[in-house]
Structure 1
């Protein structure tokens, strides 16, 4: 009988020929889709440029932007793990994608391998009437009354964490990175605002562990096998949604008893309970999207949307205020005329609205360093992007919010909060280029909440602390973690500026 090694040796030429054929076929398929569009002419078999994307994402996307700038097309192409991708730099073409999110055109996916990670029943994957109906139910969560409730919760959590920063051994003497500190503060803020009293004790600790597993898996290759970060992240998402479902069910019980809302899920459940009661009275089934499991899944969507993006903006705010002392001085002057930590009271919703320049700073931070630089979509069908190029079905399309932020605006490469003040109104004049919160039917419904979070942080951080950034070579370069942050994790020296934290008493 022929040995196994002999069989392998005998079949080796055929195996190699088959592999060479598959590699050639893959390359021909890529070039057929690419046509004359800028992008690499050769790609590695099977994995394409995945290694470059994972190891050095900043360089990868900068290269795509350079490809897109090389012609007047406004977009470029590449190949990642068997998937053809299109990177869009042109603002108008990005709007074309955002305006055509529907079954027979583009599907928002949030992450290149999002459906594997989040499941396919999340808000970002909904289309048409189902999506429109869900957004109608979400809207009451962001009314002025609801936002005022969140403002108090946001400040209590922020102040608790800012105080803990001053208790670190390095505080006041040595620089230390604040990225993970901001991330932890934002995670707890989101927990307090979204599910308030329903997440406590052991469930809160497990929640934080699972969210960290999810966060790590976001930037890894989608290897769904035991022991790999992506599998750990996927399982963590399931547990996180289960936890949030329990919170939603407890909130439903509370709202059915007629109590006042104290967090976001309460505002959501308050309306859901009314609709459920009305349906029961009419002898009908509960309306869709009012079940605790469904709401628990959507709460996770909110968490994902708010957590890392907000962390990014807080870090860039500190970075940019440090490098622009004239802006910092104006912020401190405005905030001091309205609020001081020595008042012993929290910032009210009315006071927050008075901080117009600080609000302009927050908006400019978000424009200048848009946290979610890309908004991945997938082409559900062949789509004519331009008169000369049709995006093939199955392509992952990346409209670049970051690139749009530097188009149209006056002197766009300069950090200039005055562009958002009343006398210039660049937020209105160049509204089409301000895509940090998306556009079209999937535009971020919680953008006012996100801006409030940043304005509150800027007001309190600059009032409580004197701070100095430790500058080093490349410290301001972009790092994807997964949203963009300063490469050095924003290392600062902090010292207490005011006489204490009376707001916590």
Structure 2
């Protein structure tokens, strides 16, 4: 050992010199990219500000937003990557509008293509992406949405009943909605997307695989046996295989003239029609693009993934904000009770849903005030002129802030005020460019009407069938990035039954 160290000792000055030179080059490279833009002037080697981002993400992004106040954007350095944080809404639109392979790519995950597979909507562009969105459109027509609303409401009621039972079993102990809401959302997505094709056993396996994927999504990214990332990737493959099999079954039903009962049926009904027309016109047995069962299974998984964390985030913020704004809670209860009663043994109809105008404004304001996907990371594929005086360097990770845009333009932007979305004020129209919770540009969320309906149904039923009390602690409303935003305490509540009985409805 001594002789080995003696051998290396003459080289020590060279190693130290090389290390110092590397650190100097790294610092100079950062400052060259930074130029005169607000941001850290000195960075830790390689790590940059990764420690503060990991330990205190909320304060990290707040600092970035404060730094960006003057120019509309700021810069930083995280684990070897230069980043640009965008606060200004118009600059964010510039990024969203240039989403294409030669300008910006969405970053769903550091190894998204490997994890989600090659058939993924996030990584589609141009005409292919437009054509796929056209194929998906029949899934969200008024007819399709009316089918989904029945399924959504029954599942919401079933889970509210179980939450109330769980809370009543331990009166002095709050329950954590952060742990309960994901199961409700997953069951809703399962049932709405592929409902009748899921047996009880298949539901359990499906749920286990999805939870395996979701809990390992942001773990160490080593694609090796027994590592979390490998397990997540294999879970995705099994889920896609399962969903592909359901696409096969649905195509058969729809080709036989059966009526659609879930999202995949509406999709396959249109696909079967297109295949038939294609064969008639071209006298060919070649199926239209993007209609293979594997592709459809992959796209369905995209829907499933998009419908989970964002929806859970919104449900928790609904409870949090209604608990801290009792005047809003009172008005929602008055409106819902005037239109619908849980004792009627009927669900909320489409007409009744339209009548709940104030409840709709509350839902929209929750989405504005606490947009779940607060940041939408992109990678610059080339040097991109952001302003007349600054060009984003190629390889930069760019973070347009949906959250910051939500607090720009609106008359009472810093307050939770549903009236901003009333018919009199219509600020979601006036300040449409600031309302980015559902995205903007070619990749804007296709299922936003479905998501809004789900939130309104939850609000109406939660406040009508249950009394709730938030168990607050210091800092409980602080925003946590996981990666969508949640209340720090996971929304701890105590629940009790408010109405004499619930609707006695079950899924077929």
**More off after superposition, 54-63 vs 449-458:** 54-63
Per the alignment, residue 201 of structure 1 pairs with 200
Which SS does the other structure have where 2:68 is aligned? helix
Match of 1:248 in 2: 247
Cα offset, 1:9, TM superposition: 4.1
Q: 1:348 maps to what in 2?
A: 349
SS in 2 for 1:76: strand
Counterpart Cα distance in 1 of 2:12 and 2:222: 28
- Deviations along 1:385-408, one digit per CA (max 9) or x if unpaired, are 000111111111110000000011
What is residue 491 of structure 1 aligned with on the other side? 492
Provide the secondary structure at the position in 2 that maps to 1:504.
coil
Give per-residue Cα distances to partners, 1:323-365, cap 9 Å, x unaligned: 1111111111111111111000111112111111101000000
Moved more, 162-171 or 287-296: 162-171
After superposition, the C-alpha distances for 1:160-198 in whole angstroms (9 at most, x for unaligned) are: 111111221545543221111111100110111111122
* 1:268-417 correspondence to structure 2 within 5 Å: 268-281=267-280, 282-284=282-284, 285-417=286-418
Tell me the distance in 1 between the aligned counterparts of 2:252 and 2:27: 58
Q: Report the RMSD for the aligned CA atoms in angstroms.
A: 2.0
Q: Match of 2:74?
A: 76
**Deviation by residue 1:270-293 (Cα, 9 ceiling, x = unmatched):** 111111222233233211111111
Show the 5 A alignment for 1:100-179: 100-168=98-166, 170=169, 172-179=171-178
C-alpha separation between the residues in 2 aligned to 1:266 and 1:57?
42
Inter-partner Cα distance in structure 1 for 2:218 and 2:39: 23
Q: Shift of the alpha carbon at 1:54?
A: 2.7
| 1:194 to 1:10, Cα distance in 2 relative to 1, 3 A | farther
Q: Is the 8 A contact 1:111 1:376 kept in 2?
A: no
Instruction: Provide the C-alpha distance between the structure 1 equivalents of 2:385 and 2:474, rounded to a whole number of angstroms.
Output: 44
Q: Which runs of 5+ in 2 are unaligned?
A: none
CA distance in 2, matches of 1:18, 1:500: 74
What do residues 76-128 of structure 1 show as CA deviations (whole Å, max 9, x unaligned)? 11122222111100001001111111232112223454334323431011111
SS of structure 2 residue aligned to 1:84: strand
User: In structure 2, what is the equivalent of residue 27 of structure 1?
Assistant: 27
Q: Which SS does the other structure have where 2:374 is aligned?
A: coil
Structure 2 residue aligned with 1:188:
187
Kindly state the Cα deviation for residue 268 of structure 1 after the two structures are TM-superposed.
0.8
Partner secondary structure for residue 307 of structure 2: helix
Distance 2:404 2:141 in 1: 31
| Farther off after superposition, 101-110 or 90-99 | 101-110
* Alpha-carbon contact 1:316-1:369 (below 8 Å) kept: yes
Question: Deviation string for 1:409-436 (max 9, x for gaps)?
Answer: 1121111111101111111111111000
Which moved further from structure 2: 259-268 or 12-21?
12-21
1:205-244 alpha-carbon deviations (Å, 9 max, x no partner): 2322222233223344534444543343333222222222
Whole-angstrom CA distance in 2 between matches of 1:500 and 1:235: 44
Aligned to 1:239: 238
Aligned length: 503
8 Å Cα contact 1:68-1:75 kept in structure 2: yes
Change (3 A) 1:345 1:10: same
Q: Tell me the distance in 1 between the aligned counterparts of 2:179 and 2:76.
A: 33
Q: Secondary structure at the match of 2:265?
A: helix
Residue in 2 that maps onto 1:66 = 66
CA distance in 2, matches of 1:460, 1:267: 27
Q: Is the 8 A contact 1:418 1:424 kept in 2?
A: yes
Report the alpha carbon displacement of residue 49 of structure 1 after superposing the two structures with TM: 2.5
Match of 2:45? Answer: 45
Decide whether aligned partners of structure 1 residues 49 and 235 sit closer, same or farther in structure 2, where only a CA change above 3 A counts. Answer: farther
Q: What is the distance in 1 between the residues matched to 2:228 and 2:47?
A: 18
Q: What CA distance in whole angstroms lies between the structure 2 residues aligned with 1:378 and 1:120?
A: 18
Give the equivalent residue in structure 2 for 1:477: 478
Distance between the aligned counterparts of 1:10 and 1:279, measured in 2? 75
Unaligned runs of 5+ residues in structure 1 are none
